[in-house]
Amino acid sequence: MTPPLRKRLFDLSLCLLTAPVWLVALLVCTIVQLLFEGRPIFYVSLRRVWGKEQARVLKFRTMVRDAEKIYNRATVPVSDKRFLNTPIDSPMYTRVGRLIERCQFTELPQVLQVITGTLTIVGNRPLPENVIAALKERYPNTEARFATPSGLTGLP
């Protein structure tokens, strides 16, 4: 069995075994988001997932509608603690969004993308092109992270 096939079987097996947990959490977050914040429930962004390949990656929407039009992430200052992230106390977050962020359920919808094969469980996080460009300024070998498929865990 080839390593890519083994990794795919691992991803599918783990998703299947843990389905009772993540399906319930996904359903609860979706219902709460729909009841308290309305649509859209998910935030979709184009991110690099492997080599030069890009894919639309799902997350729960945790910020106000049209946050990208109101607040440009590319202008957020780089600090030693965070890189291009919005502080959790920012008014851009919704009440439900803060809860989803604190529970670290933001990327839970990406489990569905593991099942479809867009992402893997173990792999570097997929990144938007503007973040990759900013990282390259500070870390010249940034492109190397895309030599393997992107995943949920953020581990290479």
Q: What is the pLDDT of residues 70-118, one digit of tens each?
A: 766 555 555 554 455 778 888 889 999 999 999 999 999 999 999 999 9
In this structure, are residues 1 and 86 in contact, taking their beta carbons and an 8 Å threshold?
no
Give the model's pLDDT for residue 76.
Answer: 54
In this structure, are residues 56 and 49 in contact, taking their beta carbons and an 8 Å threshold?
no
Give the model's pLDDT for residue 89.
Answer: 86
Give the model's pLDDT for residue 73.
Answer: 58
CA distance 5 to 1: 6
